[in-house]
Amino acid sequence: MALQRAQAAAPAGGTAATQVVTTTPGAVDATQVVPAQQPEEEPEPEEDRSRSKRFVFILIALLVLALLVAGGIVAALNSGPSTAEVPNVLDRPLDEAVKILEDEGFKAEPVALENNKAKANAVYATDPKAGVEAEEGSTVKVVYNPSDAQEVVPDVRGMLYDDAKAVLAAKGFTRVKPADVEGAQGEPGTVKEQLPVALSLARPSDEITLRIVPIPTVTDVPSVAGLTQEQARATLEAAGFVVASTSTEASDRIAAGKATRTDPSGSADLGSELVLFVSSGPANVEVPSVVNLTEQAAQQKLRAKGFKPETETKATENRSADNIVLSSNPAGGESVQAGSTVTLQVGSFREPTTQAPTPTQPPPTQPPPTQPPATKPPPTEAPTTVAPTTTSSPPPTTTAPTTTNQP
């Protein structure tokens, strides 16, 4: 009974705080209560530990990636064109200063400016100044005091203009200008002649002219579509082009006599020759044959080719020709301008009209005239009188002309 009471006193579903132990029968106290042992904690499943490790690895990878991206952004922000320090070329001769700057990756631009305090042909200033960080390949202006002493003019014939100019500048000749040689052959910009002539003596302050193969100047060709021929020609010539010839071409958009385009178009060398195209109107189109079609079918066929159909009817006693195209003007096969009018002659059936035959009457017959019998009046005796005797001339005799028959 004590065991049953102990079991009933334990909380349902909970872990017992005590354990009941049954002793040997016959003892005074049959039961003994001892503290219950705590259950051992279950080990963490292997799957959960693996999932935790993967999470840690992913987190570390994301952090590393974020650091790499941030570093790349910083590097990109800090990166830029490489720079170099402008060397000190003060008090050096101009040609020596130019060479030093070019060796350091800069471009030298000599600037002649008289300065009584500086030696002749010596550099006394640069821009940017010496010691300043500047982009590699940038231009450094080299200011020098030109000399009044004459120098030998270098021979730059056969060089391109920019190269020749640099060679002259290195010798102190900075006043250089180009001049085209019309009709000269060769690569555009090539020096053909120079004034003063090569190897002659000149002061650095003197102007040197380099005569070169003309360098084409590409410029836009004006659009002249829709202008009259005269307006188009004037527009092109005002832009510096030459209208060498004109040609006609069909156009569905531009009226006849108006300019359509040029060849070349878009852009061309300034002064080049162009061909001006002028519209001759819409292109000719062959009229389709529509004879023996119904009026509706013929109109549809003509409209599909861009023509304007018109209809006129012609009476016909042929029932099968009713509403049928008998002819067209222009006729099928003729070539005319698109959009022209084509007149259709369409049959219109009319019942034939019948007339009653005209009766034929015999010619009228007249009975022969009847004369009453002659009656003689009874003789009467008249008083005897003697009439005077009269002499009557005989009637004239008419002789018919004699007709002679030809054999």
Q: What is the 3-state secondary structure (H, E, C) of 40-102?
A: CCCCCCHHHHHHHHHHHHHHHHHHHHHHHHHHHHHHHHHCCCCEEECCCCCCCEHHHHHHHHH
Which among 328, 349, 370 is the end of a domain? 349
Q: Are residues 196 and 242 in the same domain?
A: no
| Residue 238 shares a structural domain with residue 194 | no
Instruction: Evaluate whether residue 398 is within a structural domain.
Output: no
- pLDDT tens for 231-260 read 999 999 999 999 999 999 999 899 999 999
3-state helix, strand, coil in the chain (%, to 5): 20, 30, 50
Domain count, the chain: 3
Cα–Cα distance for residue pair 321/234, rounded to 1 Å? 60
Distance in angstroms (rounded) separating the CA atoms of residues 403 and 353: 59
Give residue 243's pLDDT.
Answer: 96
Q: Which pLDDT tens digit goes with each residue over 112-169?
A: 888 888 888 889 999 999 999 999 999 999 999 887 788 899 999 999 999 999 999 9
Residue 153 sits in which domain range? Answer: 84-212
- For the residues 205-210, what does the mean pLDDT come to? 93
pLDDT value at residue 77: 53
Domain-embedded: residue 262: yes
Same domain, 129 and 200: yes
Pair 201, 148: CB distance under 8 Å: no
Residues 94 and 194 in one domain: yes
**Whole-number mean pLDDT of the chain?**
80
How many Å apart are CA 404 and CA 407, to the nearest integer? 9
Give me the amino acid identity at 24: T
Q: pLDDT tens across 325-373, in order?
A: 999 999 999 988 878 899 999 999 998 877 666 666 666 666 666 666 5
- Say yes or no: 316 and 335 in one domain: yes
Please indicate, yes or no, whether residues 97 and 208 belong to a single structural domain of this protein: yes
CATH of the domain at 299: 3.30.10.20
241 and 150 in a common domain: no
With respect to residue 387, please indicate whether it lies within any of the assigned structural domains: no
Do 205 and 103 lie in one domain? The reply is yes
Do the domain assignments include residue 386? no
89 and 205 within one domain: yes
Has residue 187 been placed in a domain?
yes
Residue ranges of E strands in 129-272: 133-135, 139-144, 151-152, 176-180, 191-195, 201-202, 208-212, 218-220, 242-249, 259-263, 267-269
Same-domain status, 115 and 197: yes
Do residues 296 and 330 both lie within one domain?
Answer: yes
Report whether pLDDT(264) > 60.
yes
Q: Are residues 194 and 89 in the same domain?
A: yes
Two structure tokens written together for 25: 């029968």
